[in-house]
Amino acid sequence: MEISDASRQTGISSVAPASETASPAIASDFETFLRMLTAQIENQDPLNPVDSTEFATQLATFSSVEQQVLTNDLLTVLGAQMSAMGSSQLFSWVGMNAYAAMPVNYYGDPVPIVTEGSAIADKAYFVVRDETGKEVDRFEISTDRAETEWDGKTKDGQQLPIGTYSVEVESQLDGEVIDTKAALVEARIVEARSENGEAIFVMSTGQEVFSYEIVALREPA
């Protein structure tokens, strides 16, 4: 089953428009800017007129600032919506399979994992480290995004002992490491709670992750 976006699964409503006070303020500032620009044109020295490209630059600069203000307002609204998300919505995640960059609590069973190398890499490696940070396995994988299962066996066929491991994707270009990022581990959410305004989920493998660390959800197979 295809992984779905986390926000779509939770039924989070679409982002509301930016605050009503922001648009009039921007409109007022823009009108003021146009009046000033008009006055500048009317009072310029006819023998040494201002280059038209300068006017275009001023307009483009103001437009850029206007868009930035609107973007900031939109992000503020989005943050408020996320903060106000009802507990019922978050608790509805319990029982879902979640993907997050988290350690693997390996008990001997295969662990579903999503790997993806850098878009510009010519090679990618799946790297496994134990709790001390020591590298215990490494093997080449595709640089493309792929869903797989890690069975706890090294490339030499040896079974790693039960324990906690970190799994990551190392991307290389011409033999040089250009990126290293954690692989996404799939586990079922078995518990949800709120602490200091933050939603925390307990996974079936024992890890605890914050809601913002979960990048995708899907129904259990």
Domains of the chain: which residue ranges?
Answer: 4-83, 87-97+186-218, 116-182
Is pLDDT at 80 greater than 70 in this prediction? no
Kindly state the percentage of the chain with pLDDT values over 90: 39
The structure's pTM equals 0.57
Residue 117: count other Cβ atoms within 10 Å of its Cβ: 25
Asked if 215 and 100 count as a contact pair (C-beta separation under 8 A), the reply is yes
How many Å is the Cα radius of gyration of the chain?
A: 26
CATH T-level assignment (fold) for domain 116-182: Immunoglobulin-like (2.60.40)
Q: Which residue has the higher pLDDT, 73 or 199?
A: 199
Window from 87-96, 124-133, 136-145, 171-180 with minimum mean pLDDT: 87-96
pLDDT value for 211: 85
- Give the chain's largest Cα–Cα span: 85
Residue 93: count other Cβ atoms within 10 Å of its Cβ: 19
pLDDT value for 129: 95
Return the structure tokens found at 87. 């507990």
pLDDT value for 12: 32
Residue 122: count other Cβ atoms within 10 Å of its Cβ: 13
Is pLDDT at 92 greater than 50 in this prediction? yes
Average pLDDT across the chain, whole number: 78
Task: Give the mean model confidence (pLDDT) for residues 152-161.
Answer: 90
Residues in the chain: 221
Distance CA 210, CA 96 (A): 15
